[in-house]
Amino acid sequence: MNLFQKIIINRILFRRTRANRCLKQFERCFGSMDERAADLFLTVLLNLMSLILCLNPEYRLNIKDFEAKYVFKGKSKKLYVTAEFKNNKLAVKQKQIQNPELTLTFKDGNSLFKLLLSDTPDVLNAMLNQEVDFCGNINYLNKFAYMAMRLKLMAAGKV
């Protein structure tokens, strides 16, 4: 990654100290959020992921020749976001798609935050506690969790 790309990414994702401070403040307040806030957060996260995929060739290697459709939804139907990886790009939509490779259903907004913002996301524990249910190939969930964690580390300046 060249200097220009690092400067752009630092400006977009904030500098390390500001990013850590914002992340800690966000983690403190996420406990009381509902599915509408989770929907907004997930949309922002996926759009940020899409932007970084365009700007950072190293991050883009994670989706080289990868094609998949993800559906994230809540049990109360207030949360519904789709992500489609195709042609080394990510498209984020809030409309129904046909034949997704993975459908994740979250019990509530807190379940989504716990899974995505945890330092060590534990998908199996979330399923055992009935916070998350999935339909499809669990390997796609692991790939998404890895990409989200990598994005979080990039935001904190640890990558």
Q: What pLDDT does 81 receive?
A: 92
Q: What pLDDT does 90 receive?
A: 93
Q: What is the CA radius of gyration of the chain?
A: 15
Helix/strand/coil for 80:
strand
Tell me the CB-side half-sphere exposure of residue 55, using CA atoms within 13 A: 20
Q: Shortest CA distance to 87 belongs to which of 48, 54, 49? A: 54
Range list of H helices, 93-137: 109-117, 123-128
For 16, the domain range is 3-155
What pLDDT digit, counting tens, does each position of 106-152 carry?
888 778 777 777 766 677 788 888 888 889 988 898 888 888 888 88
Given a cut of 70, whether residue 4 has pLDDT beyond it is: no
DSSP string, 48-76: HHHHHHHH-HHHHGGGTT--EEEEEEETT
Look up the pTM and report it: 0.74
Tell me the CB-side half-sphere exposure of residue 7, using CA atoms within 13 A: 3
Neighbour-count burial for 19-40, b at 16+ CB within 10 Å, e otherwise: beeeeeeeeeebeebebebbbe
Given a cut of 70, whether residue 48 has pLDDT beyond it is: yes
Domain containing 127 — which CATH number? Answer: 3.30.1050.10
Lowest mean pLDDT among 31-35, 40-44, 48-52, 57-61: 31-35
Please tell me the total count of domains within the chain: 1
What pLDDT digit, counting tens, does each position of 29-47 carry?
555 556 777 788 888 889 9
